[in-house]
């Protein structure tokens, strides 16, 4: 029985939450392995809408959720999210959520630094979610992060805070922001400690056991390949490795356990925040797609930039992300458009490219080369079988498969959990 990893194949918000929730019915454990509460995953089940940022989307199905060491964890954001879900009738307790004891924490100084830096960048800002993700990963790599396990050792914590604040207060003051008091931070963390430590464990042991017992593990990616720290549109990226390879390092499991890698892609493209976006539409069609697709950021409420499906970009994500098959979402948003365009490559300074090169100047200058394809008149919204799709919609999907060099294994036709067409069971070997 294969495990499955789900990652975003564009710039995020492809519908990973919906797909993970849907797949979770056949999984035993759902693992988050990177990112933090910069992620916003929306699940629609009947008349309930759940918005998750840190909790693995499987918790709504009552599956065991694991937050791996590759995540950066904001303790207050986690407790708030658990409370929000509790109010919606989903109880999250140490019985159904386990957190890696070695996960690095996001402290209040991280969002403060994130925002102060963005303000200092002015027009060149990245458009981060302002949640301290970048600064928290920097601290991890710099070996000064406070980790969940440190909350169990007040003396270690106190000494580590001294080192952390020496660094951060110097930076914050240089940027004209308020410094943080060690006593306040220490008291806040020690106050939260018992509630958080109840979830902590060496999750690698549980995953190892689960694997040997033949449990099905679903790895839930956040963000997407084009926001990946190495492979994305750097520097307009997030600060973690979003490719499936990181599911192993980010949770403490063998690379061979990752199983099948599914890339989630919208039938068009969106992006929140700044950075290159060759197929972006600044016209009425772009506005219409945004309105129909309800393209507003789950985390920040910002309108998402919208554009045509960029097959060259997704093909690149397929290759660097090790994506074996696609889940195509939001096809319904394109219903009724007379004609559609698909980006098949780029023209940059008079040269043709079949991929987006890494240099920022080239990325900013990239002009899409389009192929035009006929739209469809009928509705795909809520379709649950291939036979319900208009012929032109099938043609659009087939062309995408050819261009991105990966098959479409699952199709999503509305936000609702069960409005999903399966071409092949992703868990099948
Ligand atoms: P994620 O970050 O990848 O989990 O995606 P988000 O949840 O941030 O954004 C995807 C949005 O599209 C959510 O509001 C979903 O409810 C919605 N959605 C997912 N699949 C479909 C679909 O097939 N059709 C439509 N119309 N909406 C969808
Ligand atoms: P999900 O998991 C879309 C974007 C931000 C910004 C850049 C860096 O819901 O797909 P960060 O706060 O991570 O330092 O911001 O990355 N970004 C996302 N865009 N979906 C997300 O998550 C995102 N998480 C971060 O908008 O451009
Ligand atoms: Mg999202």
Q: Are 403 and 311 in contact (CB under 8 A)?
A: yes
Burial degree of 323 (CB within 10 A; 0-12, 13-18, 19+) = buried
CB atoms within 10 A of CB 249: 15
Q: Are 199 and 98 in contact (CB under 8 A)?
A: yes
Would you say the CB of residue 42 lies under 6 angstroms from ligand 1? yes
CB atoms within 10 A of CB 196: 20
Mention the CATH class of domain 265-422: alpha beta
Superfamily name and number for 109-196: Adenylosuccinate Synthetase, subunit A, domain 2 (1.10.300.10)
To the nearest 10 degrees (0 to 180), the angle between helices 109-121 and 154-174 is 20
Ligand 2 mean position, distance from CA 229 (Å): 12
325-329 and 408-412 beta bridge pairing: parallel
Q: Mind listing the pLDDT tens digit of every residue in the chain (429 residues)?
A: 589 999 999 999 999 999 999 999 999 999 999 999 999 999 999 999 999 999 999 999 999 999 999 999 999 999 999 999 999 999 999 999 999 999 999 999 999 999 999 999 999 999 999 999 999 999 999 999 999 999 999 999 999 999 999 999 999 999 999 999 999 999 999 999 999 999 999 999 999 999 999 999 999 999 999 999 999 999 999 999 999 999 999 999 999 999 999 999 999 999 999 999 999 999 999 999 999 999 998 888 889 999 999 999 999 999 999 999 999 999 999 999 999 999 999 999 999 999 999 999 999 999 999 999 999 999 999 999 999 999 999 999 999 999 999 999 999 999 999 999 998 888 887
User: Residue 302 has what DSSP assignment?
Assistant: P
**Residues 233, 357: Cα–Cα separation, whole Å:** 9
Burial degree of 371 (CB within 10 A; 0-12, 13-18, 19+) = middle
Which of 18, 12, 15 is closest to 60 using CA atoms? 18
Ligand 3 mean position, distance from CA 165 (Å): 32
Taking the CA of 41 as reference, the closest ligand is 1
In the three-class reduction of DSSP (H, G, I as helix; E, B as strand; rest coil), residue 75 is classed as: helix
Both tokens of 227, joined, read 């926001």
Both tokens of 17, joined, read 């939450």
**Among 53, 128, 264, residue to substitute to test ligand 2 (most atoms within 8 Å of Cβ):** 128
**Residues 195, 227: Cα–Cα separation, whole Å:** 32
Both tokens of 386, joined, read 């291939």
Ligand 3 mean position, distance from CA 34 (Å): 14
DSSP bridge pairs for 252: none
Domain boundaries, given as residue ranges, for the chain: 4-102+200-260, 109-196, 265-422
**Residues 6 or more apart whose Cβ sits within 8 Å of residue 5:** 218, 219, 221, 244, 247, 258, 259, 260, 261, 262
Which of 228, 192, 243, 246 is closest to 82 using CA atoms? 192
Rounded to a whole number, what is the distance in angstroms from the first to the last CA of the chain? 6
Both tokens of 34, joined, read 């990177």
Q: Whose CA is nearest to atom 26 of ligand 2?
A: 273
Residues 175-220 have pLDDT tens digits of 999 999 999 999 999 999 999 999 999 999 999 999 999 999 999 9
**Residues 128, 106: Cα–Cα separation, whole Å:** 15
pLDDT of residue 1: 57
Task: Using a cut of 0.95, tell me whether the model's pTM lies above it.
Answer: yes
Both tokens of 57, joined, read 């989307």
Give catalytic status of residue 41 as yes or no: yes
Would you say the CB of residue 41 lies under 6 angstroms from ligand 1? yes
To the nearest 10 degrees (0 to 180), the angle between helices 391-404 and 311-321 is 50
In the three-class reduction of DSSP (H, G, I as helix; E, B as strand; rest coil), residue 8 is classed as: strand
Would you say the CB of residue 332 lies under 6 angstroms from ligand 1? yes
**Residues 282, 296: Cα–Cα separation, whole Å:** 16
Give catalytic status of residue 13 as yes or no: yes
Superfamily name and number for 4-102+200-260: Adenylosuccinate Synthetase, subunit A, domain 1 (3.40.440.10)
């Amino acid at each position: 029985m294969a495990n499955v990893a789900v990652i975003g194949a564009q710039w995020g918000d492809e519908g990973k939450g919906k797909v993970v929730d849907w797949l979770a019915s056949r999984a035993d454990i759902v693992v988050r392995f990177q990112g933090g509460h910069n992620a916003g995953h929306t699940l629609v089940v009947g008349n309930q809408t759940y918005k998750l940022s840190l909790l693995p989307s499987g918790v709504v199905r009552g599956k065991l959720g694991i937050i791996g060491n590759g995540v950066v964890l904001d303790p207050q954001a986690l407790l708030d999210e658990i409370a929000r879900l509790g109010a919606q009738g989903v109880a999250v307790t140490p019985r159904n959520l386990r957190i890696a004891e070695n996960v690095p924490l996001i402290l209040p100084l991280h969002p403060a630094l994130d925002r102060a830096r963005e303000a200092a960048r002015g027009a060149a800002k990245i458009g981060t979610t302002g949640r301290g993700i970048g600064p928290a990963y920097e601290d991890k790599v710099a070996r000064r992060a406070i980790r969940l396990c440190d909350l169990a050792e007040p003396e270690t914590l106190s000494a580590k805070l001294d080192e952390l604040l020496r660094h951060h207060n110097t930076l914050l003051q240089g940027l004209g922001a308020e410094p943080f008091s060690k006593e306040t931070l220490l008291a806040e963390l020690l106050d939260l400690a018992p509630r958080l430590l109840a979830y902590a464990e060496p999750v690698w042991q549980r995953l190892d056991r689960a694997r040997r017992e033949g449990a099905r593990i679903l790895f839930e990616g956040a963000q997407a390949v084009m926001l990946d720290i190495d492979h994305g549109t750097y520097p307009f990226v997030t600060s973690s490795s979003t490719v499936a390879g990181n599911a192993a390092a980010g949770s403490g499991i063998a690379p061979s356990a990752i199983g099948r890698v599914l890339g989630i892609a919208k039938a068009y493209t969106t992006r929140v925040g700044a950075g290159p976006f060759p197929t972006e539409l600044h016209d009425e069609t772009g506005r219409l797609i945004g309105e129909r697709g309800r393209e507003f950021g789950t985390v920040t409420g910002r309108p998402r930039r919208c554009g045509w499906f960029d097959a060259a970009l997704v093909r690149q994500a397929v290759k660097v992300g090790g994506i074996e098959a696609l889940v195509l979402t939001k096809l319904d948003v394109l219903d009724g458009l007379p004609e559609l365009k698909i980006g098949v490559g780029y023209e940059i300074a008079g040269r043709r490219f079949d991929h987006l090169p890494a240099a920022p100047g080239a990325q900013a200058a990239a002009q899409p080369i389009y192929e035009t394809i006929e739209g469809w008149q009928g509705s795909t919204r809520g379709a649950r079988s291939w036979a319900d799709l208009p012929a032109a919609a099938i043609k659009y999907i087939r062309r995408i498969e050819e261009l991105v060099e990966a098959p479409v294994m699952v199709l999503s036709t509305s936000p609702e959990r069960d409005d999903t067409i399966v071409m092949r069971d992703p868990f099948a070997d």
